């Protein structure tokens, strides 16, 4: 299967040129022209590697990289116009796998891409069995399965991700902003009630039908999953 590359680059001419070359080499390519769109696509799980420009509208490349790294270890190669050492160092410190300075020869970019993809294949550990629990609630990450007692509960992807994050932090109060940042992956300015809405969906599927109370509101702070005492 062709490897899928996400190219986040606001210079459309350069983006089209790189896209053509990558397709010619047999990669599947999608483009994003600004940081926010790039971040959303990068976190969609549909790509094997990201080529990420640093100077981008809406969200700069370093910030996009930082947020990708909160969720994913996918290979990221930074494209930088500025051939300055501090930039390269901060890029690599923030978790970039490599960087390439514009203008670059396409052969060099292809070599970096192959190296980053190889490194990823070598680094991928066997899938971890991750089972999270609270009282009668069990979430099986690899099977994407949620049960209360013996009963399986159907959740949407967002509900599942939200529950997984709360369970992974069982006993810790997580703010709405923290949940937005980790579960939604980017800022929803002025719409933190998206969290409240999804919390109410979870309660209506998990707490109410089973007569239990696992998801607690901490007024003015956020939410926490606790086992009943």
| Lookup: tokens for 71 | 């969720």
> d(Cα 69, Cα 46) in Å, to the nearest integer?
16
Taking the complex as a whole, the smallest distance from the CB of residue 32 to Ca ion amounts, in Å, to 12
Residue number, 19 or 53, with CB nearest to Ca ion: 53
Chain residue at closest Cβ approach to Ca ion: 55
Stretch that binds Ca ion, among 5-13, 105-113, 120-128, 194-202 (CB under 5 A): 5-13
| 87 is a contact residue toward Ca ion (CB under 5 A) | no
Q: What's the 3-state SS for 89-108?
A: HHHHHCCCCEEEECCCCHHH
Q: How far is CA 41 from the centre of its chain?
A: 9
- Among 14, 30, 55, 117, contact with Ca ion (rule: CB under 5 A): 55
Taking the complex as a whole, the smallest distance from the CB of residue 223 to Ca ion amounts, in Å, to 38
Half-sphere exposure in the Cβ direction for 82 (13 Å, CA): 12
Residues 52/61, Cβ–Cβ less than 8 Å: yes
- Among 19, 48, 53, 161, contact with Ca ion (rule: CB under 5 A): 53
Residue number, 55 or 115, with CB nearest to Ca ion: 55
Phi, psi dihedrals of residue 153, rounded to the nearest 5°: -115, 130
Stretch that binds Ca ion, among 23-31, 39-47, 50-58, 85-93 (CB under 5 A): 50-58
Residue number, 81 or 106, with CB nearest to Ca ion: 81
| 115 is a contact residue toward Ca ion (CB under 5 A) | no
Residue number, 48 or 53, with CB nearest to Ca ion: 53
> d(Cα 180, Cα 189) in Å, to the nearest integer?
10
Residue number, 31 or 182, with CB nearest to Ca ion: 31
| 10 is a contact residue toward Ca ion (CB under 5 A) | yes
Q: What's the 3-state SS for 47-82?
A: CCEEEEECCCCCCCHHHHHHHHHHHCCCCEEEEECC
Question: Which residues contribute to the site for Ca ion (CB under 5 A)?
Answer: 10, 53, 55
């Amino acid at each position: 299967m062709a490897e899928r590359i996400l190219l986040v680059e606001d210079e459309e001419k350069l983006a089209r040129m790189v896209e053509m070359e990558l397709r010619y080499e047999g990669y599947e390519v999608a483009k994003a022209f600004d940081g926010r769109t790039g971040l959303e696509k990068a976190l969609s799980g549909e790509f094997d590697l990201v080529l990420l420009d640093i100077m981008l509208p809406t969200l700069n490349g370093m910030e996009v990289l930082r947020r990708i790294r909160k969720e994913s270890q996918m290979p990221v190669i930074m494209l930088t116009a500025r051939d300055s050492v501090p930039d390269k160092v901060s890029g690599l410190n923030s978790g970039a796998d490599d960087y390439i300075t514009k203008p670059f020869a396409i052969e060099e970019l292809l070599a970096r891409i192959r190296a980053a993809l190889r490194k990823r294949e070598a680094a991928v550990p066997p899938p971890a069995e991750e089972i999270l629990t609270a009282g009668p609630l069990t979430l099986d990450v690899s099977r994407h399965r949620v049960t209360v007692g013996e009963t399986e509960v159907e959740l949407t992807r967002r509900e599942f991700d939200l529950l997984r994050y709360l369970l992974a932090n069982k006993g810790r109060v997580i703010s709405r902003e923290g949940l937005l940042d980790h579960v939604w992956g980017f800022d929803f300015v002025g719409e933190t009630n998206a969290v409240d809405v999804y919390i109410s969906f979870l309660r209506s599927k998990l707490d109410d039908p089973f007569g239990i109370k696992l998801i607690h509101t901490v007024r003015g702070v956020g939410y926490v999953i606790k086992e009943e005492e």
